[in-house]
Amino acid sequence: MAPLTPAPRLRGFRTSIAGLACARATWPGLAGGLALLLGAAPAAAQVAANVTLASNQLFRGETISADDPGLALAVSADLPGGLFAGADASFAAGGEAPRLTAANLYAGVALRLGEASVEAGAIHRRYGSIYDDAYRPRFTELYAGITLRRVQVRAFVSPDYLADGRNTYYLDVNARLASLGRWTLQGHGGLALIPHDLGDPDTSLISYEDWSLRASRPLGPFTLGLGVAGTNYPVFGPSGKVRFSAQLSRAF
């Protein structure tokens, strides 16, 4: 078996981990945690930032911006030894007043094992609003994943996503499906496993699914993305509707 070594930078996948959501209960908490992260990072750390404008902000197939357009800001640091950490915040406006829609604070470690890279970490998420009050708008997920060539598989568990404190689970697969000229097509499939309501004699887990397809290409210093997504998972808003989105992002 090949030895474990720090994995190379996986910026696309690392950005998708951050996704859309937070540090503590407030924006100052996020900013303070990020300042602490960057202040403590050694000089050898690789720091990157990203700004994204989107016509709709989506998370696991659902809109978290009530179909309003929005802006997302993200920063990440890859540290020696395979350690990484980062934070992001998303804002939206349009049909509703300007607001914070989501934020993330995350950290973990990624290591190379032969041709694959393995990673594990934790994400603390915050959402501006939630549709189903059986869930918490602030929760933590622990995860582990493996990336092999064009495919990444990750498993998540959260001890506090449900308001009653029972564990929930999520499995996702992300893959680069095709390339045509400067365009790249990426696909995503997700499976959420949620306990039945308290008092229900059924002890099995309820399953929900989500999916997305996204085509992207460089456009000068920017990246243009066009995507479609759907889910039957009604947590952040009424589901069952396929949603389209366009994004323009710039990495620094």
Domain architecture of the chain: domains with CATH: 4-251 (2.40.160.40)
In angstroms, the CA 13 to CA 161 distance is 23
In angstroms, the CA 28 to CA 40 distance is 18
Place of tokens 């994943």: 145
Residue 227's identity, in one-letter code, is: G
Q: Which one is predicted more confidently, 16 or 211?
A: 211
Is residue 84 within 8 A of residue 103, CB to CB? The reply is no
SS3 for 11?
Answer: helix
6 band by pLDDT with thresholds 50, 70 and 90: low
31: Cβ–Cβ under 8 A, 6 or more apart, which residues?
none
223: Cβ–Cβ under 8 A, 6 or more apart, which residues?
216, 217, 247, 248, 249, 250, 251
145: Cβ–Cβ under 8 A, 6 or more apart, which residues?
118, 119, 120, 152, 153, 154, 155
| Percentage of residues of the chain with pLDDT beyond 70 | 82
129 band by pLDDT with thresholds 50, 70 and 90: confident
Place of tokens 């594990």: 120
In angstroms, the CA 55 to CA 68 distance is 7
Residue 143 has what pLDDT?
Answer: 98
Long-range contacts for 158-167 (Cβ within 8 Å, ≥24 apart)?
160/136, 161/135, 161/136, 162/134, 162/135, 162/136, 162/194, 162/195, 163/133, 163/134, 163/135, 163/136, 164/134, 164/198, 166/195, 167/195
Lowest mean pLDDT among 7-11, 40-44, 99-103, 160-164: 7-11
Lowest mean pLDDT among 3-12, 122-131, 237-246: 3-12
Q: Which one is predicted more confidently, 238 or 13?
A: 238
**DSSP characters for 13-56?**
HHHHHHTT-BSSSSHHHHHHHHHHHHHHS-TT-EEEEEEEEESS
Lowest mean pLDDT among 16-25, 51-60, 127-136, 190-199: 16-25
- In this prediction the pTM is 0.83
177 band by pLDDT with thresholds 50, 70 and 90: very high
SS3 for 12?
Answer: helix
pLDDT at 34 over 50: no
In angstroms, the CA 92 to CA 67 distance is 9
Residue 163's identity, in one-letter code, is: A
Q: How do 99-113 and 83-92 pair as beta strands? A: antiparallel
Mean pLDDT of 227-240: 84
SS3 for 80?
Answer: helix
In angstroms, the CA 34 to CA 88 distance is 9
In angstroms, the CA 244 to CA 175 distance is 19
Residue 163 has what pLDDT?
Answer: 93
4 band by pLDDT with thresholds 50, 70 and 90: low
Residue 233 has what pLDDT?
Answer: 83
pLDDT at 37 over 80: no
Residue 43 has what pLDDT?
Answer: 53
